[in-house]
Structure 1
Amino acid sequence: MKNKNKNNLPIELSIESIAFEGVALARKDGVVHFVRRAIPEEIVLAKVTKKRKRYLECEVMEVLKSSPNRVLPKCKHFGVCGGCSWQHLDYPEQLKWKERTVLETLKHLGKITPEIINNIIPSEPVYNYRNKMEFSFGPSRWLTTKEIDSGEKIVQKDFALGLHIPERFDKVLDISECPIAPEISIKILDRIRAQALMFGCKAYNTATHEGFLRNVVIRNSLSYQETMCILITDNPKETCDEDFLKWFETEFVEEFKDTSIIHAVNTSFSPVAIGIPKLLNGKTHLIEEILGIKYKISPFSFFQTNSYQLNPFVSKIIRIAELETSNTVWDLYCGTGSISLPIARKINKIIGLELSESSIEDAKENAKLNEIDNVDFFSFDLHSKEFWSFASELPKPDAIILDPPRSGSHENLLKLLKSVSPAKLVYVSCNPATLARDCQFLSDNFYLKEIQAIDMFPQTYHVETIALLLNKEK
């Protein structure tokens, strides 16, 4: 790409649309510019932050002409923290662009247009909706531009408790507010941060594997209004570490006595927020409900993060699937059974399959808890060639539901779906791009009948999609 702006001077851009991963798009001199924190119909002054072979990445310096859809972000960390990249966009516009992203991605990447397009289901509420927040300790606090430019002495550079900076996993932004988290979260963070600093504890360094404090995970049950706090540390190495743990096990527990409190130890080099848990107060798990089904949520188990949307989300899957009481269904990537168990009460048999052994154990416990006996759960690598042999021994399904991770399904599994050839597939996706790719791969055997977008992640560009694919021969 020929560089016509060798001195990297600010450039004026007219924003046309929103593109990949929620970033605004502009064109100038035939070159595509991706502009963070801009909105369609705006004219902005931007600076180039990265030069790619086919496009430029930019940051807004000044909004010269503001869109009527621009709103004041609720969080003071907006623009630095990567958690909520759309807080500046009016919520109805968020919904419009999420829906448009799904449809355009299916059209351009998958070469597919669904027969039925349902209106996106909005979230209520749009703040304080997350039932799980994972915060990290860091030995290198992210310094904001405002802080650096202030000229004031910078203190506490080697300790932070908050969220990682986008594309900089080594840097953590100290968080003093988070409007998408449960309201108790910041109170808990503030207490833990203050005491850690007072005792002089060190944050764990993922590069050198030194330090003590690793993560704070906060989970919340909407159905029962209960909270769980999990502190994850390495083994104590210094006196200050032991003193901090004594405070956490006594004074912190007393202050938050209505909260389930767990201390987990992680001595591995893995940055994943997990560890061997020890209950200090309350319960070992939370209980959440979906359509009258109770779910045990253990400290580190996966569960959809927006409890407010769970009932409409699962209800829509059931409605789109249009299952009959005599049906047998496979639920692939079933997790802890959040889709399997409500469906089990409406059909003859459901089989849940998932790689994670801990999730399968939770799913089995949830089935027992709800006295549901027409469901079988198995732990298996769905992407492996060996799964073909295992699947051949299972009852033939009338329908298959799959809810893969963001990376989508594996080609081995997609080939199996073609071979098994059920009457219908219900594909649940959190990534329009991999949904489009997989639907296109299946298009020789299945056609896309219906699409339903649902907003599980307000203030972000992420969107959940339910797709109904029908067998062309049935």
Structure 2
Amino acid sequence: MSRNRKAGTVTILPNLSIIDIAEEGKGVAKADELVVFVDKAVPGDIVDVKIVKKKKNFAEAVIETLHTASDMRTDPFCEHFGTCGGCKWQHMQYDAQLHFKQKNVEAALQRLAKVDTSSMEPILGSAENKYYRNKLEYTFSNKRWLNAQDMTDREDLEMNALGFHVPLRFDKILDIQHCYLQAEPSNKLRNEVRAYALKNELSFYDLRNHEGSLRNLIIRTSSTGEVMVVVVFAYAEPAQVNGLMEHLKVSFPEITSLLYILNQKKNDTIFDQDVITYAGRDYIFEEMNGLKFKIGAKSFYQTNSLQAHELYKITKEFAGFKGDELVYDLYTGAGTIANFIAGSVKQVIGVEYVPTAIEDAKFNSELNGIENTVFYAGDMKDILTTDFIAAHGKPDVVITDPPRAGMHTDVVERLLEMEAEKIVYVSCNAATQARDLALLKEKYEVSRIKPVDMFPHTQHVENVVLLNLIK
């Protein structure tokens, strides 16, 4: 390796080859024994880098000079790339993104669970890699993130912003002009809300002092063309609330569900808040595979509707239903998977921690005339007792789709006790999935693996694993 040179107190490492990409979207290089994470670098790049942080065995760096651009590199499509915390891989071609997502899943399963991945199936890419989300949540702030141009020209600078949090800065919001994650009318709605608020002098929330009128904006859309808008106010006068809501009602007649919330807590969660309907219904409908799903302001639904359908089809295929199975659907959420597979099995028992999600699941079964589903709300490790299994029967198939933290060890132990013939494990975190698979290897063997890309231009990936009981 060429000798390092220093510009003042700044260390420059020359001619580094980027050999991999990390989950945070940073390229990975090696300089002797030092692992270097390089912001906005792509595997195949050859670069000089400037060290910005150094630890014993690794360093973080930025590109000083790009000598050779990788064949995988492409121009970012969003003006906010590099500042916004989303879409961190958009400077890498989509086929390359899929390659590295597959590689990351494979590495996690091999390293943490010692799973043989030689027969792992190719990752399923998303047919749409822009405007694929059905839900976005924006934040109002009176402390806009300032770029370099802003810092040099601060006269009459607008400090209010409506957009996304800047990574690692809870009190700084990047003002978003155009977001490529959600289709119209999402951008038009957000920009009109900002324009109205500025014109009518509605105060934007102060995230440090907890004051201001406008706090959050949530926009949900569906494949059926329905639109939900939720405006979250903090310390707003009734006239301010009515003024903005009436403006949205008149300006956007396509809004199906126009709602608002008054949240004066010190956190943004709305699950313990009352949702007030200003116009239309308090929910919208989504459709999948001939089924309708009711979605309220607090409902959970996969944010990539089209790819969720593909994910559930793979889950169903892995299960290989014959029609007479009793299925336990763990972490059922709003019962989407349970209702999706209900027509192919004898009965589905869904379990979920969030009571409101279970109410949605029951409603969705009734809405679709499904009578062979039963849902329970409560902590998974507390519900899945020996008495529960004795009362409802030993499952033939278990489908589990836990949060990123994976399954509690008590749940894994209960699965080992139940000895269902098959477990289909759907996960959004290959590392915690691998941890659980290592525990399940006591009685199960992995027979199929297929990653599914739900979130293009990010490091996130879903993975579906089929486990069969060892005879």
Classify the TM-score, shorter chain. Answer: over 0.9
Partner residue of 2:261 out of 261, 264, 267: 264
> Any idea what SS the aligned residue of 1:116 has?
coil
Q: What is the letter of the counterpart of residue 124 of structure 1?
A: A
Mapped partners of 2:110, 2:326: distance in 1:
32
Structure 2 length normalisation: TM-score? Answer: 0.94
Task: Spell out, residue by residue over 1:245-289, the C-alpha distance to the aligned partner (whole angstroms, 9 max, x if none).
Answer: 232132221001111211112222222255321222222111111
Mapped partners of 2:307, 2:395: distance in 1:
28
Do the aligned partners of residues 51 and 99 (structure 1) sit closer, same or farther apart at CA in structure 2, a change above 3 Å counting?
A: same
Aligned equivalent of 1:407? 405
Task: Spell out, residue by residue over 1:295-342, the C-alpha distance to the aligned partner (whole angstroms, 9 max, x if none).
Answer: 001112110011121222111110011122111010000001111011
Structure 1 length normalisation: TM-score? Answer: 0.93
> Number of residues paired by the alignment?
464
Do the aligned partners of residues 447 and 386 (structure 1) sit closer, same or farther apart at CA in structure 2, a change above 3 Å counting?
A: closer
**Deviation (angstroms), 1:381:** 0.3
Partner residue of 1:382 out of 375, 380, 383: 380
Q: What is the letter of the counterpart of residue 241 of structure 2?
A: L
**Deviation (angstroms), 1:144:** 1.9
> 1:257 touches 1:281 (CA, 8 Å); kept in 2?
no
> 1:381 touches 1:387 (CA, 8 Å); kept in 2?
no
Q: What is the letter of the counterpart of residue 269 of structure 1?
A: K
> 2:259 touches 2:276 (CA, 8 Å); kept in 1?
yes
Q: What is the letter of the counterpart of residue 29 of structure 2?
A: A
Instruction: Quote the RMSD (CA, aligned, Å).
Output: 2.0
Q: What is the letter of the counterpart of residue 253 of structure 1?
A: K
1:53-452 equivalences in 2 (<5 Å): 53-114=56-117, 116-148=119-151, 150-153=152-155, 155-157=157-159, 159-222=160-223, 224-236=224-236, 241-259=237-255, 260-274=257-271, 275-384=273-382, 387=385, 389-452=387-450
Q: What is the letter of the counterpart of residue 46 of structure 1?
A: V
Mapped partners of 1:364, 1:140: distance in 2:
43
Q: What is the letter of the counterpart of residue 401 of structure 2?
A: D
Q: What is the letter of the counterpart of residue 406 of structure 1?
A: R
Q: What is the letter of the counterpart of residue 284 of structure 2?
A: L
Single out whichever of 63-72 and 20-29 deviates more from structure 2. 20-29
Unpaired runs of 5+ residues, structure 2, are: none
Identity percentage over the alignment?
A: 36
Mapped partners of 1:58, 1:388: distance in 2:
53
Mapped partners of 1:253, 1:363: distance in 2:
30
Q: What is the letter of the counterpart of residue 263 of structure 1?
A: Y
Single out whichever of 321-330 and 137-146 deviates more from structure 2. 137-146
> 2:211 touches 2:234 (CA, 8 Å); kept in 1?
no
Unpaired runs of 5+ residues, structure 1, are: none
Mapped partners of 1:107, 1:228: distance in 2:
43
> Any idea what SS the aligned residue of 2:454 has?
coil
**After the TM superposition, which parts of structure 1 deviate over 6 Å for at least 4 consecutive aligned residues?**
3-6
> Any idea what SS the aligned residue of 2:431 has?
helix
Mapped partners of 1:134, 1:278: distance in 2:
18
Mapped partners of 2:383, 2:24: distance in 1:
32
**Deviation (angstroms), 1:385:** 8.1
